Amino acid sequence: MLGLNNRDTRFFLIVIALTLFTPFLLQPFPEGSAMAQFNAGYPDLMQRFAIYGIFAIGFNILLGLTGYLSFGHAAFLGVGSYSAVWMFKLLSLNVIPGIILAVIVSGIFALIIGYISLRRSGIYFSILTLAFAQMSFNLAYSVLTPITNGETGLQIRLNDPRILDGEGASQYTNLFGLDMSSSFKLAMGDYVFTFNAGYYFCAIIAIAAFYLSLRIFRSPFGLMLRAVKSNQHRMNYTGLNTRPYTLAAFVISGMYAGLAGGLLAAMDPLAGAERMQWTASGEVVLMTILGGTGTLMGPILGAGFIKYFENIFSKINDNILHAWFSALPDGLEGFLVTIIHPFVGKGWHLTLGLVFMLVVIFLPGGLVEGGQRIKTMFSRKKNSDAASDVKPAE
Amino acid sequence: MDAILLQTLNGLDKGAAYALIALGLTLIFGTLGVVNFAHGALFMIGSFCAVTLQRLLSISYTTIDPEKTDFLGNPAKIETPYIEGWFGPEIGAAIIDWSVPLAIIFAIPIMVTLGFIMERGLIKHFYNRPHADQILVTFGLAIVLQEIIKYYFGANPIPTPAPTAFKGSLDIGVMIGFDPNAIIYPIWRLIYFVFSLIVIGGIFAFLRFTTFGMVVRAGMADRETVGLLGINIDKRFTIMFGIAAAVAGLAGVMYTPINSPNYEFGMEFLVLSFVVVVVGGMGSLPGAVMAGFLLGILGSFASMNEVKQIFPGIDQIIIYLVAIIILLVRPRGLMGRKGVMEE
């Protein structure tokens, strides 16, 4: 189906199903129960899963296939956000033109930065991309204030021209009249499921983005990129100019980032310079590595993992901890709360840093490799012959 | 003329901080071949050594003075630091006043120990992994160290003043024959600059004139051969890591009066210091020091109003712009050795 072999088709269908049923899957606990705080099925977070999933998928095309570690990808995300918001201000609050412009502008941006940065490789490439991103960030904060609105951030106003919108047009970002923020709530007994228009819009784009990356991974172009990763010198010695291939990968991943930025703006029409800061670039690196570099599913898992913990883990405070352990004797309860306290709530970055370090040290293939190891462990017990030809489930 | 001199001076203290951090980074890279993204965090921890010492020294006991009353009419509570109780009020107050310079002594053992633990516990296992893995794991470590500091000290900058004797400014212009008030320079920044020169000079002398330094230099040039000669080069490299950590820590300790430290303090410096190292040339110690001062001074020149009028926003990007140009036209950096990390 769609030019995929059977295995990939099955895999792709699973991804589609998971994405479409996310509002159910992320709401495993009934409303009002003690575990309800672990529910992640609210629109804002689900949108972020999809958007950062796109960002990480795109980043993985560069890092996973060519091995070039960019520390400046957030710049493209920021550029995408700014161009989308400008489209909302000038043309229409319909999200389509904004997102198209976001992809185009970030693509041009990536072409320029990539053309210069890809002249070097290894750590120098990382530093060059970092330098470009920091330059964009600093400029967005200072001189480019007329375009970026500096520290306040760019936002839509009631008196924007919006030449395509008629008199009675919606005042919110919409898709041909369907507001991105509109939701349909489905109550089933104790469970409440929220189906949000914005999430499904992002999800469909994310599925398309995933499909594209799947095709790139399986294409001759993807094979060429892998060859660049494993031995660029040898490729050069065979008389092949690798630069156009790496540049294409860089631009594609930049456009993915721009798409993610445009979607962020479409969900919440606001663009700030802090989206371009190098810590934001570091975040996408974390997502990709944590999930598994060079695997198809890894970046999405990583993005979901980080965004989930950022939103859910950081909400756990001392009261909740005390409530959890209230069944235990007082001394033990206090002790456990003291131990766990630094790792949750405001300290969730500490957990993130520790998990990330552990993954880099023990599981260089990320969560996907972890899953495979567990799988191999079990299948080896059943059938020792089968274990030898387990292929990586990308 | 005086404006040029003033901007040069202004660039010196930032340049000195860049140079010190870049020196440590280069030492680690040159000896162990490891790209250490946690070096900014070490700088930050150094600055928090100063904060901690100041807090430790100011631990007080409360006495109630029945003679005086506070504004509510209750007997006044007087906080007396223990240190004043032990050494007498005058010496005690002086010790607290001088806590930042004293923190140098306090910070060295802490930073060296931390460096040893980092090297033996983590970095050692990453010698043979790709540079990308080293960057990633040290980046994770930097996050962890930052968060630990944030947990204990909070997220706000903590003001840590310099000794009273060094507060205020010096009219340098008068000393060298300019008009009064033309070149005013804070004393502590001057001290920072001199301090950094001493540290840098000390490191270079240590590497140049001691047997230990000679072995380390030999190891930097050819680790395997030195190892084959029966020298335990790993042990010496670990010590160098400790020294590099201490240099970053000292740079942090002395920087606290210039800029109140918070937990993200190091990251800002780290990014710039990496740029400095790359501009100076990976693995070249003089290159790192020179590029540090050069970029610091360039940055301060770019923030002159006259320059900003011609190129708006240049002060924000000058360092990155220089780095990009240098990397493209002279890939191994200003003073990099041929063949070292050119690709």
Q: Does A235 touch chain B (CB under 8 A)?
A: no
| Percentage above 70 pLDDT, chain B | 98
Higher-confidence residue of A65 and B161: namely A65
Higher pLDDT, B112 or B165: B112
Task: Please tell me the predicted confidence (pLDDT) of residue A193.
Answer: 84
Closest-CA distance of chain A to residue B336, Å: 13
Residue of chain A whose alpha carbon sits nearest to that of B326: A128
A347 in reach of chain B (CB within 8 A):
yes
Q: With cut-offs at 50, 70 and 90, classify the pLDDT of residue B246.
A: very high
Residues near A153 by beta carbon (within 8 Å), at least 6 away in sequence:
A270, A271, A272, A273
Closest residue to B137, CB basis, from A135, A141, A357:
A357
pLDDT confidence of residue A1: 66
- Give the burial string for B297-322 (b: 16+ CB within 10 Å, else e): bbbbbbbbeeebeeeebbbbbbbbbb
Give chain A's radius of gyration (CA, Å). 22
Q: Is B299 helix (H, G, I), strand (E, B) or coil?
A: helix
Q: How is domain A6-276 classified at the CATH fold level?
A: ABC transporter involved in vitamin B12 uptake, BtuC (1.10.3470)
| Residue A236 token pair | 């050069």
User: Regarding beta strands A183-188 and A178-179, do their DSSP bridges make them parallel or antiparallel, or are they unpaired?
Assistant: unpaired
Band of residue A55 on the pLDDT scale cut at 50, 70, 90: very high
Asked whether residue B45 carries a pLDDT value surpassing 90, the answer given is: yes
Reading phi first (left if > 0) and then psi (alpha if -120 to 50, else beta), residue B330 is in beta
Residue A394 predicted with pLDDT over 80: no
Indicate whether B339 pLDDT > 70.
no
Q: Which residues, 6 or more positions from A123, have their beta carbon under 8 angstroms from its beta carbon?
A: B35, B131, B135, B278, B282, B341
Query: Cβ separation of B136 and A289 shorter than 8 Å?
Result: yes
A285:B136 CB<8 A: yes
Is A78 within 8 Å of chain B by CB? no
Hey, which residues does B170 pair with through a beta bridge? Answer: B185
Distance (Å) from the C-alpha of residue A74 to the closest C-alpha of chain B?
Answer: 15
State whether A135 and B275 contact (CB < 8 Å).
Answer: no
Reply yes or no on whether the pLDDT at B277 is more than 90.
Answer: no
Q: Is A69 in Cβ contact with B132 (below 8 Å)?
A: yes
Query: Minimal Cα–Cα distance from B278 to chain A, Å?
Result: 8
Q: Which residues of B touch A122 (CB under 8 A)?
A: 131, 341, 343
Q: What 3-state class would DSSP assign to B254?
A: helix
- From residue B87, give the alpha-carbon distance in Å to each of A29, A101, A285, B97: 63, 70, 53, 14
For residue A252, the model assigns a pLDDT of 96
Mean pLDDT of B104-131: 90
Token digits of residue A263: 């979607």
How many Å lie between the alpha carbon of A18 and the closest alpha carbon of chain B? 30
Give the mutation candidate from B278, B329, B341 for the A interface (greatest A CB count, under 10 A). B278
Q: Between B12 and A56, where is the model more confident?
A: A56
pLDDT at residue B201 in the model: 94
Q: Which residue from A minimizes the CA distance to B137? A: A357
Contact A67 B320 (CB under 8 A): no
Kindly give, in sequence order, each residue whose CB lies less than 8 Å from that of residue B91, ignoring residues fewer than 6 positions away.
Answer: none
**What's the gap in Å between the CA of A95 and the closest CA on chain B?**
32
CB contact at 8 A, B100 and B256: yes
Give which of A123, A284, A343 to mutate to test B binding, by max B Cβ within 10 Å: A123
Residue in B317, B331, B343 closest to A139 by CB: B317
φ, ψ for residue B333 (rounded to 5)?
85, 180
What's domain B2-329's architecture? Orthogonal Bundle (1.10)
State the average pLDDT over residues B47-73. Answer: 81
- Rounded-to-integer distance, Cα A80 and Cα A140, Å: 13
What is the Cα–Cα distance from B230 to B114, expressed in whole angstroms? 28
Q: Which amino acid is at A125?
A: F
A127–B150: do the CB atoms touch at under 8 Å? no
The percent of residues in chain B predicted with pLDDT above 90, rounded, is 22
Q: Is A293 helix (H, G, I), strand (E, B) or coil?
A: coil
Is residue A72 within 8 A of residue A130, CB to CB? The reply is yes
Helices and strands in chain A, H and E counts? 17, 6
Tokens 């903590």 -> residue:
B158
E strands within chain A? Answer: 154-155, 174-175, 178-179, 183-188, 191-196, 270-271
CA B96 vs. chain centroid, Å, equals 22
Apex B67 CA angle, B65 and B68, nearest 5: 75
Exposure b/e, A334-365, CB count within 10 A at least 16 = b: eeebeebbbbbbebbbbbbbbbbbebbbebeb
Q: What is the pLDDT of residues A348-357, one digit of tens each?
A: 888 888 888 8
The span from the CA of A371 to the CA of A375, in Å, is 6
Rounded Cα distance between A20 and A13, Å, is: 11
Structure token digits, residue B126 = 């990453």
Q: Enumerate residues 6+ apart whose C-beta is below 8 A from B242.
A: B111, B112, B113, B115, B116, B119
Give A-chain residues touching B35 at CB under 8 angstroms: 123
Q: According to the model, what pLDDT value does residue A2 have?
A: 74
Instruction: Return the minimum-mean-pLDDT range out of A93-97, A167-171, B80-84, B220-224.
Output: A167-171
What is the 3-state composition of chain B as percent helix, strand, coil, each rounded to the nearest 5? 70, 5, 25
Secondary structure, 3-state, B172-213: HHHHCCCCCCCCEEEHHHHHHHHHHHHHHHHHHHHHHHCHHH
Kindly list the domain boundaries of chain A, sorted by start residue. 6-276
Closest CA to B280 of B75, B18, B83: B18
CB atoms B151 and A141 under 8 Å: no
Residue B133 to chain A, least CA–CA distance (Å): 7
Question: For residue A393, is pLDDT > 70?
Answer: no
CA distance to partner chain A, nearest, from residue B81 (Å): 30
Share of chain A above pLDDT 90, in %: 30
Q: Is residue A372 predicted with pLDDT exceeding 70?
A: yes
Test the B interface: residue of A112, A121, A135 with most B CBs within 10 Å: A135
pLDDT, position B342: 54
Contact check, Cβ <8 Å, B271/A134: yes
H/E run at residue B76? strand B75-81
Tokens at B94, concatenated: 């002086």
Of A116, A131, A353, the CB nearest to B320: A131
Q: With CB atoms and an 8 Å threshold, state whether A120 touches B151.
A: no
Please check whether residue A112 touches B, CB under 8 A: no
Is B283 in contact with B30 (CB distance < 8 Å)? yes
User: Looking at the predicted structure, is the pLDDT value of residue B262 above 90?
Assistant: no
Is the confidence at residue A388, as pLDDT, over 50? Answer: no
pLDDT band at A179 (very low <50, low <70, confident <90, very high): confident
Query: Which chain A residues are closer than 8 Å to B131 by Cβ?
Result: 122-123
Mean pLDDT, chain A, whole residue set: 86
Helices then strands, each counted (H, E), chain B: 15, 4
Q: What is the reported pLDDT for A386?
A: 46
Cβ burial of B76 (10 Å; 0-12, 13-18, 19+) is middle
Structure tokens, A350: 């500490």
Residue B154 and residue B250 in contact, taking contact as beta carbons nearer than 8 Å: no
Model pLDDT, residue A224:
92
| A120/B327 CB distance under 8 A | yes
User: Chain B residues within 8 A (CB-CB) of chain A?
Assistant: 35, 122, 125, 131-133, 135-137, 139-144, 146-148, 150-151, 267, 271, 274-275, 278, 282, 312-313, 316-317, 320-321, 323-324, 327-328, 331, 341, 343
Question: What confidence score (pLDDT) does residue A387 get?
Answer: 44
Residue-level length of chain A: 394
Q: Distance (Å, rounded) from C-alpha A335 to C-alpha A331?
A: 6
Q: Rounded to the nearest 10 degrees, what angle do helices B265-280 and B131-153 cross at?
A: 150
Chain B residues in contact with A284 by the CB 8 A cut-off are: none
Whether residue A145 lies within 8 A of chain B, CB to CB, comes out as no
Task: Calculate mean pLDDT across residues B307-330.
Answer: 83
pLDDT of B11 above 50: yes
